[in-house]
Structure 1
Amino acid sequence: MTANDSLECLHGPGYAAAAPTTAIQQADQCLLIVAKPCQNVQHMQQILSAYRQRGSEFLDRQADPVALVMVDAERQSLILATDPIGLSNLYYAQTANGIVFGSRADFVVCHPDVNDAIAPQSIYDYVYFHHCPSPNTIYQQVKKLEGGQCLIYQNGQVVVKRYWMPTFQEQVSGNLQQAGRELRELLIDTVRRNVDSEDNTGAFLSGGLDSSSVAGALSKVFPDKAKTFSMGFPVEGYNEIEYANIAVKHFNTRQHEYYVTPEDTVNAVPLIAAYYDEPFGNSSALAAYYCAKLAKENGIKRLLGGDGGDEIFAGNERYAKQMLFEHYHRLPGFVSSAVEAGLSRLPPVLAQHKIPYKAKRYIEQANAAMPDRLQDYNFLHRHEGGDIFQADFLARIDTAEPLRLLRECYQRPENASVLNRMLYMDWKTTLHDNDLVKVNRMCEMVGVEVCYPLLDQRIVDLSCRIPSDSKLKGQKLRWFYKQAMAEFLPEQIINKPKHGFGLPFGIWLKDHQPLKELAYDAIHDLKKREYFKPEFLDHVVDMHQSIHAAYYGELIWILMMLELWFAGKGL
């Protein structure tokens, strides 16, 4: 096989179906399939050599770990491994005759030994997270690996273990200025290693810190010839093309723009929903699709994404908010007790005033355990399950499962600060299970490769050395990152308010009749399934039409994508 071959089926210990891979190499009785990021054939040979010397323990010492499949005919064993962050997915199902695995759940359930029965728990988890969180999938029999995990199959037994965990050293060699220079150099080097030619390589550009950094690095590799691609929405408050164009002017890139319309949404949403191998409710998938499509139409074969910077360098507002709650626990015990006692004795009339109410609410949240309080806003914590789901369905659900998944992940790192635990948890929940799935699938759908320079292992390792109070300095998000990029990025981008690829779906839905028909028909069809109470679905539609168009629009999107996924799969 050559590096461009597509591995469709392996017969050995089980059955495998996989998407086209970056590199395939066979040596003696071993077949090694390596997905990105793999640098070259020499790297593959090093992996094979390490495996021969140490067997299944070879992953523990890999300096540059990658996602891989290793089939050893002599030992009759199989090893599946994801890269540390989980840039790609590996799905599997154990059967009576062996093991079925692949890079998509769709491939796995195609096998005659794998049942495509839907997992009720995953339906509930989807509503909770807006995606199906690992290690489970939408299918009862199919599982998926998390980032930094490996599966060993031998003698009919499956063992899943974690071969990689970050070490949060909280200490840099030299000073932060030197670390900042190292970050810039690593970013440019990573981009250089991941590009092909100036003609067929481009970068997503939203105008935010991360995408602007990656686009800027690309402009250093291809001066005055770097191609960038941006999405806009013709709705006030949802468009940040102006920031993308600041980066374009600063780096002199060859910019391409497209404005997504309600008609685009009607045309693309059913196709997008069906393309995902599990229900996927992140509405920014639409922008990712049209951005990748624009790039493809302009000759691009590989796109660079800016995903990951928020999660490794503390760029999300919830991190700063949670640290405010942590400050409460630093108060002497007698002070906090006195404050709580005083608030509890206030007459009801005074307790409802703005300041006492906010103080009481702050204390309630501060006293909630981490990571539970991160989900305080969650729709399923603010509404009774019995008002949403049918009783027979709810009886089959463990409503505590989503929080249990989050707690296990949050507690996993050793000797980690509260901030670093939140970051690590987001590597799974926000990146591996959500944002990377979003961009990977949409690029795959239009036929474009994608890679993520900010998630290069060297940059991830560097982020683990940066002290927590330098990543997030007081309430200043991404303080270290902004200092590192101060001379590289325009000041307007360094200090811009956070935005992203938000979709004005709820706004469009109020007045655009074809979009309304698509969404409301899907909600109507969802009533025929065993999951939701019909009166709840009616209530969601009524609330969207009357008040809170944006809030209930997002809920309608999540429910619509669930039904459209079922319809697209013929289920």
Structure 2
Amino acid sequence: MCGIVGFIDFKKQSSEKILNACTDELIHRGPDGRGIAFFNREEGQVALGHRRLSIIDLSEAAGQPMEYNGLWIVFNGEIYNYKEIKKELVQAGHQFKAHSDTEVILHAWQQWGAAMLSKFIGMFAFVIYDTHTGSLFCCRDRAGVKPFFYYWKNDLFLFSSELKGMMKHPAFEKEIDQDALSAYMQFGYVPTPHCIFENCYKLKPGHYLQMDIKTRSFTMQQYWNVYDAYNKPVLEIGFDEAVAETEKLLTHAFQYRMVSDVPVGVFLSGGYDSSCVTAILQKNNSEKIKTFTIGVPDAGLNEAPYAKEIARHLGTDHTEYYCTQKEALEIVPDLPFYYDEPFADSSAIPTTLVSRVARKQVTVALSADAGDEIFAGYNRYDYMMRYGKKMAQLPASIRKLAAATMDKIPADKVPILRKKYEFHTRYEKVKSFLKNNSEKNILVSLTRHMTDEEIHKLFKNKVKKIETAFDSSELGEKRFTILDYIMAVDYQTYLVDDILQKVDRAGMSVSLEGREPFLDHRIIEWAAQLPSHFKYDKGKKKIILKEIVHKYIPQQIMDRPKMGFGIPLQHWLTQELKPFVDELFDDKYIEAQGIFNNAEIQRLRNSFYNGRVERVEKIWFILMFQMWYERWMK
């Protein structure tokens, strides 16, 4: 894993000094080396910067930017099957100087062009500059494991692995996109392709962007679409055969993620996904796999004993670390630097902690994310399947009457229930369901933390709803089951913008490469074609994955209530973090900032501190933005 950055300045007002500053802003992503390439063309300046974290081929010959036959590349990620592709290229007459996957990409580009992407198994974000044609090819992997931001304004095109790399350029204009900010307040992240800044975007997963320097124009192309996988015919296969074939595919994909010239470990939480990764890898490795977990003193939130038992059963080289509340709290002020776009998932804190523990022993860590999105593991899937259908079947007359009644009785006027956790937001969501009972609306309502009504009250000026993957027309145009649709949408939203962003930034904060073994496109395509009842059936989730895990770990060890690493936000915000709230929610601060409706901010704050616990997530979301604003906008 590395950090990449670069630009095309058509006004020719940049310099190597600026490129160096942008590159070194990403030193945490690549402390092992750096490189730049600066070109003066008739049309403008082209610049490429790279910070290296050495993983495959540790020699200087694998350094970047790398050149081959007039092609230059900066690359972040791994192509796991690069040796097989290299063999094919050698047979076609190509000769190689080094042993890295970076060099393979350059030769593959010359041989096949963009068609090479169909051959790649891996995680990647890279840019190829062709000095002959005057073009820039920017690409992001199918799942969006590797980040890629770009900016286009005033004849300046910038790109970077993180926003901070672009913000270092003096011509980058930090204008907050308040429509994107409103989406952050609903989801806890800014949905792709949007960004917190105007004229700044995230390249969508499974897409590439091609810039023609001579005409100053670019085109966007999708080369892989998760919906295509779900559009294929359902496999006619028995359950036992499906289990065997799924395990075979998982084994191959997981072993690819062990390809490295530096030590590799696994995050083991004790849940089904991480246990699956660990069990399959340990079975196929003679040496003990290094596993890592974080523990907390609170027994009700502590999964470390379960992870330890699973590690003992599988025979891994296990490390557990019990963190204190003080250690967790100390990370909070650093979050706006690690996450240089507003981000509100509090599990970033334990993810950062376990990354720090792992980095003392390994340079690469496997994280078992996406099992829920691929094999149907989230509780909201159960809710959609059980209650979403019932809501959809309600007669229109009953829905209309119920919604009208709720319009007349505000949530704050409902006796007894109004003090329940998140009651106001839940009340508004139910009302939204009644007014629009489409599967899309129900899914969005289950995912967001603030309703549209709450958002409009929160902002000083009117904000517009931005288009996201939630607005896809796929459900109406193609034949999906509801389960397939919600998994595909989660794959394009929550997975890429929350889970993968969280793991990438947490790992990179300590120069640890994170790999995602479940996010092999062959697994995604295979699982999409499995009969739905192999994944979810009458409240049972991840059926086929659990069947595989039970071959290695007794069911009585695995079956227990899911806990996760709990962050005591309610306590923190009323105690240790209250000084931050007092400062950043202050009347004068909010008025000077000019973004939020001050009266609503004060109402939320007063409501929270007067014991209305349903406000805790809203306060946290706002606080995380305010801390980000203080770090990057002042």
Instruction: Establish whether TM, by shorter chain, passes 0.5.
Output: yes
Is 1:289 matched with 2:352? yes
Which residue of 2 is the match for residue 381 of structure 1?
451
Q: How many Å separate the matches in 2 of 1:237 and 1:413?
A: 46
Which residue of 2 is the match for residue 31 of structure 1?
72
Is 1:62 matched with 2:103? no
Which residue of 1 is the match for residue 488 of structure 2?
424
Q: In structure 2, do the counterparts of structure 1 residues 423 and 386 end up closer, same or farther at CA, with 3 Å as the change threshold?
A: closer
Q: How many Å separate the matches in 1 of 2:551 and 2:144?
A: 31
Is 1:401 matched with 2:466? yes
Which residue of 2 is the match for residue 239 of structure 1?
302
Q: How many Å separate the matches in 2 of 1:326 and 1:509?
A: 34
Q: How many Å separate the matches in 2 of 1:228 and 1:238?
A: 20
- CA deviations 1:23-48 (Å, max 9, x no partner) are 65532122244432312366365654
Say if 2:295 and 2:322, in contact at 8 Å, map to a contact too.
Answer: yes
Q: Residue 408 of structure 1: CA displacement?
A: 2.3
User: Within 5 Å, which residues of 2 pair with 1:352-363?
Assistant: none
Q: Residue 113 of structure 1: CA displacement?
A: 3.4
Which residue of 2 is the match for residue 15 of structure 1?
47
- CA deviations 1:303-340 (Å, max 9, x no partner) are 11011100111110111211224544896xxx947976
Is 1:176 matched with 2:239? yes
Which residue of 2 is the match for residue 43 of structure 1?
85
Q: In structure 2, do the counterparts of structure 1 residues 93 and 338 end up closer, same or farther at CA, with 3 Å as the change threshold?
A: closer
Q: Residue 365 of structure 1: CA displacement?
A: 5.0
- CA deviations 1:241-293 (Å, max 9, x no partner) are 23222322321223222334332233211112222221111100000011011
Q: How many Å separate the matches in 1 of 2:509 and 2:304?
A: 24
Which residue of 1 is the match for residue 223 of structure 2?
163
- CA deviations 1:90-122 (Å, max 9, x no partner) are 111224445221211221232233322222222
Instruction: Give secondary structure in 1 for the equivalent of 2:352.
Output: helix
Instruction: Give secondary structure in 1 for the equivalent of 2:307.
Output: helix
1:142 to 200, 224, 228: 200
Q: Give the aligned residue type for 2:52.
A: P
User: Within 5 Å, which residues of 2 pair with 1:60-209?
Assistant: 61-62=118-119, 64=121, 66-154=124-212, 155-166=215-226, 167-168=229-230, 169-172=232-235, 174-195=237-258, 200-209=263-272
Percent identity between matched residues is 24
Q: Residue 157 of structure 1: CA displacement?
A: 0.5
Q: Residue 563 of structure 1: CA displacement?
A: 1.5
Is 1:314 matched with 2:376? yes
Q: Residue 413 of structure 1: CA displacement?
A: 8.4
Say if 2:70 and 2:130, in contact at 8 Å, map to a contact too.
Answer: yes
2:440 to 339, 346, 371: 371
Is 1:451 matched with 2:518? no
Say if 1:202 and 1:228, in contact at 8 Å, map to a contact too.
Answer: yes
Moved more, 285-294 or 167-176: 167-176
Say if 2:400 and 2:434, in contact at 8 Å, map to a contact too.
Answer: no
Q: How many Å separate the matches in 2 of 1:449 and 1:285?
A: 16
Say if 2:403 and 2:434, in contact at 8 Å, map to a contact too.
Answer: no
Moved more, 281-290 or 224-233: 224-233
Say if 1:472 and 1:479, in contact at 8 Å, map to a contact too.
Answer: yes
Which residue of 1 is the match for residue 421 of structure 2?
none
Q: In structure 2, do the counterparts of structure 1 residues 430 and 219 end up closer, same or farther at CA, with 3 Å as the change threshold?
A: same
Say if 2:162 and 2:340, in contact at 8 Å, map to a contact too.
Answer: yes
Q: In structure 2, do the counterparts of structure 1 residues 265 and 345 end up closer, same or farther at CA, with 3 Å as the change threshold?
A: closer
- Equivalenced residue count is 551
Say if 1:188 and 1:220, in contact at 8 Å, map to a contact too.
Answer: no
Instruction: Give secondary structure in 1 for the equivalent of 2:330.
Output: helix
Say if 1:69 and 1:80, in contact at 8 Å, map to a contact too.
Answer: yes
User: Within 5 Å, which residues of 2 pair with 1:213-292?
Assistant: 213-222=276-285, 225-235=288-298, 237-292=300-355
Q: How many Å separate the matches in 2 of 1:113 and 1:41?
A: 41
Q: How many Å separate the matches in 1 of 2:262 and 2:130?
A: 40
Moved more, 30-39 or 465-474: 30-39
Q: How many Å separate the matches in 1 of 2:444 and 2:72?
A: 44
Moved more, 488-497 or 337-346: 337-346
Say if 2:279 and 2:549, in contact at 8 Å, map to a contact too.
Answer: no
Which residue of 1 is the match for residue 626 of structure 2?
563
Which residue of 1 is the match for residue 424 of structure 2?
none
Q: How many Å separate the matches in 1 of 2:83 and 2:120?
A: 16
TM score, norm. by length of structure 2 = 0.77
Which residue of 1 is the match for residue 583 of structure 2?
521
Which residue of 1 is the match for residue 363 of structure 2?
301
Moved more, 435-444 or 498-507: 498-507
Q: In structure 2, do the counterparts of structure 1 residues 343 and 370 end up closer, same or farther at CA, with 3 Å as the change threshold?
A: closer
Which residue of 1 is the match for residue 93 of structure 2?
none
| Runs of 4+ displaced beyond 6 Å | 337-346
Moved more, 240-249 or 77-86: 240-249
- CA deviations 1:140-199 (Å, max 9, x no partner) are 121111110110111210111211113223533643323322332333333333236899
Q: In structure 2, do the counterparts of structure 1 residues 262 and 5 end up closer, same or farther at CA, with 3 Å as the change threshold?
A: closer
Q: Give the aligned residue type for 1:184.
A: E
Q: Residue 237 of structure 1: CA displacement?
A: 3.5
Q: How many Å separate the matches in 1 of 2:288 and 2:385?
A: 42
1:480 to 544, 549, 556: 544
Say if 2:234 and 2:529, in contact at 8 Å, map to a contact too.
Answer: yes
Q: In structure 2, do the counterparts of structure 1 residues 330 and 526 end up closer, same or farther at CA, with 3 Å as the change threshold?
A: closer
Say if 1:19 and 1:102, in contact at 8 Å, map to a contact too.
Answer: no
TM score, norm. by length of structure 1 = 0.85
Q: In structure 2, do the counterparts of structure 1 residues 51 and 225 end up closer, same or farther at CA, with 3 Å as the change threshold?
A: closer
